[in-house]
Structure 1
Amino acid sequence: MKKNILFVINPISGGKSKRNFPLLAKQHLDTDVYNADFILTAYAGHAYELAKKAAEEGADVVVAVGGDGTINEVGTALIGTGTKMGIIPCGSGNGLARSLNIPLSWKAAVMQLNGFRSRPIDTGILNEYRFFNMAGTGFDAHISNEFASLKGRGFVGYVKKAFSEVLNYQSRHYRLTIDGDVYEREAFMISFANSSQYGNNAYIAPAALLDDGIIDICIIKPFPLYLFISMGLRMFAKTSEQSRYVEIIKGRSVRIESVTNTLVHIDGEAKKIEKEISISVDPLSLSVLY
């Protein structure tokens, strides 16, 4: 029997037009394998609604055509269902797609779906939010919040915003409880890595795995500003953990206490948390085509 596949398309992700995507997909999707439908999202949260409805109606696959934010909405909707998630990477960084070795070429990514090859991955949970690639607090959450309002999104825009904000950003004190052990740390930022990279091949946790039931907690300690570029280059060289300003602790349960009105990011989308931060892992809870 043919499988029912829905492409949920974010028309504004990554600053690229998706007008011709349905035609491209129809040209390269195996019609002996799939019956395909295509829907464009119209507002924040729409991808979640569309994916949830599709799963309830028995869709075999829902494909997120967008960036990590779109993937987050679709993936969250599919947790606990029998519906698999596909990814056509169209975002600014495409961190999860890169970690899954999904081609950045739309044509190649569509053709890869034809194999209907899937694998289960872990999902992280930060308070009530799911994350699939990366969550965090501190400087990266601050930049995610500022980045959301930029007209010129993309890697270059992100770098420019980071440079403009780093001069005035203040590190803060955190009290973390990781699998029962308490750590007091001054931190520039803390990332909770389900996969190894933010996106654009910037590896914050090179040893992180999507299916090990563990979150890599990456603590970036305060560092001299003249090392800002060097710290960034380490991520591209996969040597971030070799810096004395970086500490990576693996764990299954994390709590950051006495936090009020704190910015976090969930797969790059900024959120305000007005209570303590709690992170856990839901092992092998989402099936993804790759």
Structure 2
Amino acid sequence: MIPVRHTVAVTGPRTAVVVNPVKVPDLDLLRRTIVKGLATAGWPEPQWLETTREDSGRGQTLAAIENGAELVFVCGGDGTLMAAVGALAGTDVALAVIPAGTGNLLAANLGLNGDAATGVEIALQGGRRRIDVGVCGDRCFAVMAGMGFDAQMLEGTSETAKKHIGWIAYVGGALKHLRDKPMPVVISLDGKPALRRRARTVIVGNVGRLQGGVRLLSEADPADGRLDVAILSPRNLAHWAALAWAVVRRRERIPRMERYTAKRVEIRGISPQPRQLDGDLIEPGVGMSIGIRPRALLLCVPQPDGDPDLAYDSGAAEQAAEEVRAAAEGKK
């Protein structure tokens, strides 16, 4: 344990840190940063829980909840975050995201990008927001689920490439599958008459932004109690080019893409297809059954400036974060 001298009474809530050690280059620095940031505000030292090859974060998060944590910091990639979300959904324990890895789609969609010092300051001074959680089988997701091309793209992207060049590595994974055959699917939305399509991918989103900041579902709201559904059906490279250009240009109408909203989504194909949840591959399957748990996740988020009813001030928070960084790195 790292010794900390508290200059104020320790009166803050109990916290825990669930961290994927593979995704963090300097665990000692991360720990010093979090402990120092909490101590400065008078919060007690957190419980420290590392993920393992056998448990990507769900068990550790459940252990933190059982131990009385009122807030859980999660530091890892999308897989770690998805596992923690599954444990936290439906509780009053807040999630504080500290991004690591290459995806971090939830962090990117909700403005939670930053280092550990910034993440601590958001937890200390920021607001709390409840968001919806998607459910697929016995797993939860906070960002999106997909079947088909989007999962093929993830499958075709090497971990080495992601580590060295970040999200751009996904472009290579996508190019490998542009000419693949479409998948015949039957899609049911809230029990309405089925849609029969020859799609390249079906994406069910809670938020709208993909890797690299690409916004596919521009009207997706993570707290509206509904899922946004995109059915992409390009047939050739020209179709892909037109679709990609419309997405990048944020056009209202995107060719070869249909958009819907629903609370319940059933996707059925005729052969096993690659599938993903929150950017993490799951086992291939012939379909997906997806529902929603409205406002099930309590999340630490930055508050906007200029609201007199909110105490969060981004300038003051960044200054505090910089002081914590300097102290953790031994500069003070």
Counterpart contact for 1:99–1:196, Cα < 8 Å:
yes
1:252 counterpart residue number = 263
Alignment match, 1:231? 243
Tell me the TM-score normalized by structure 1. 0.90
2:143 aligned residue (121, 133, 154): 133
Alignment correspondent of 1:285: 296
Deviation by residue 1:118-140 (Cα, 9 ceiling, x = unmatched): 11110111222211101100101
Greater mean alpha carbon deviation, residues 158-167 or residues 72-81 = 158-167
Distance 1:232 1:278, change over 3 A: same
Is the 8 Å Cα contact of residues 146 and 277 (structure 2) preserved in structure 1? yes
> 1:260·1:273 contact (CA, 8 Å) conserved in 2?
no
- Mapping of residues 48-63 of structure 1, within 5 Å: 48-63=58-73
Contact 1:2–1:33, Cα closer than 8 Å, also in 2 = yes
For residues 271 and 46 of structure 1, what CA distance do their matches in structure 2 show?
13
Aligned counterparts of 1:32 and 1:116: Cα–Cα separation in 2: 16
- The equivalent position to 2:185 in structure 1, one of 168, 174, 183, is 174
- 1:196-253 per-position Cα deviation (integer Å, ceiling 9, x unaligned): 11233111101100000100000111243135355334434433x5122111111111
Please give the per-residue CA displacement for 1:4-35, whole angstroms capped at 9, x wherever unaligned: 1111111233xx51432112223333441343
Q: What 5-or-longer segments of structure 2 have no aligned partner?
A: 1-10, 302-332
Aligned to 2:319: none
2:113 to 103, 119, 128: 103
Structure 2 counterparts to residues 197-276 of structure 1, below 5 A: 197-239=209-251, 241-257=252-268, 259-274=270-285, 276=287
**Structure 1 alignment gaps of length 5 or more:** none
* 2:171 aligned partner: 159
Q: Alignment RMSD, CA only?
A: 2.1
- Counterpart residue type for residue 34 of structure 2: A
Task: Give me the whole-angstrom Cα distance separating, in 2, the residues matched to 1:274 and 1:165.
Answer: 18
Richer in strand (by share): 1
1:75-154 superposed matches below 5 A: 75-115=85-125, 117-147=127-157, 149-153=158-162, 154=166
Q: Secondary structure at the match of 2:21?
A: coil
Tell me which structure has the larger Cα radius of gyration.
2
Distance 1:102 1:258, change over 3 A: closer
Aligned residues: 285
CA distance in 1, matches of 2:18, 2:137: 26
Q: What percent identity do the matched residue pairs reach?
A: 24
CA distance in 2, matches of 1:229, 1:150: 26
For 2:139 and 2:73, locate their aligned partners in 1 and report how far apart those are by CA, in whole Å. 20
1:285 Cα deviation from its structure 2 partner = 0.8
